[in-house]
Amino acid sequence: MNGAAIDDFTLDLGQGSEIGLSVALVLMMLGVALGLRTSHFAFFRTEPRVFFAGLLGQLLGLPLLTLALCFILGPLPSVALGMILIACCPGGNVSNLLVLLARGDVALSVSLTATSSICAAFITPVMIVFWSSLYPPTANLLTTLEFDSLSFLIHTSAILGLPLVVGMLIAHFAPRFADAIRRPVVALGGVALMVIIAVSVLRYLDEFLQIGVSLLGVVAMHNFLAFGLGNLVARAVGANKAKQRAITFEVGIQNSGLGIVILLTQLGGLGGAAAVVGLWGTWHLIAGLVLVMVFRLSNAGTTPN
């Protein structure tokens, strides 16, 4: 599939599926909030330098890196939009599992995931608009699509923020109830998301295969540099090996499910962007498991301090 075809291709799942994706996103954010406890933010007080290094590496460093990569590679506008979108998403919960397998600092990983998830509700929409505006091809693309920034900010912030606030209130005032409903809420949201995505993949399988093959190298490079940035940031603040591993995974693993929902419900489902976000969701797991093996083989890990 040539460049023009990639940029012209869009995913149209219908209004019913878009509503379903919005509901799935609400459930995902509610599930995150129901599991939040004050202990998840202990590093803010005990080791602020390491904590903020990890957080800024993810919220500021990765988008900056992505913007630079877009200027260097000059990808198609929709592809660049997908790269920027994924860079603006919070860390995914799978990073906590990978950190555990890599013998990293799981407590720090959970703390950073929880914090970035909270930040996502309020700054991810702003970040997407801001960073996209700094790369002329994506800025022009959004103008061509008659993209309404204000409407996007209000709508996306509401979908992300309201369930987060509700979940945090429930977790604070009724922790037992929060614990009881968290898993069903997370499971329901996850299943709904997987079903809708699976249907869309089957519906557009030929297009995805054609686009995906041409973009795999870009996605792999982007993800490799993200892992590298996380490790470099951790080393810069003198973090021990366990914490280096935690920050490496937090910067390199992004919540691609959230990215897909935002893309399909708010950004018109552009084919190039959808391919990038979808490929990232698969590739970062493969790369993450390879990185786990590398860490496990290099001096058997380090016990967290």
Parse the chain into domains and list their residue ranges: 14-297
Decide if pLDDT at 270 tops 80.
no
Nearest by Cα to 303 from 248, 242, 243: 242
* Residue that wins the pLDDT comparison between 6 and 73: 73
pTM of the model: 0.82
Left (φ > 0), alpha (ψ -120 to 50) or beta: where does 269 sit?
left
Decide if pLDDT at 18 tops 60.
yes
Classify domain 14-297 at the CATH topology level.
Na+/H+ antiporter like fold (1.20.1530)
Decide if pLDDT at 40 tops 70.
no
* Residue that wins the pLDDT comparison between 4 and 93: 93
Would you state the pLDDT for residue 5? 58
* Residue that wins the pLDDT comparison between 6 and 223: 223
> Taking a C-beta distance cutoff of 8 angstroms, is the pair 236, 69 a contact?
no
Decide if pLDDT at 160 tops 60.
yes
* Rounded Cα distance, 67 and 107, in Å: 30
pLDDT digits (tens, 9 = 90+) for 54-106: 999 999 999 999 999 999 999 988 899 999 999 998 887 788 889 989 999 98
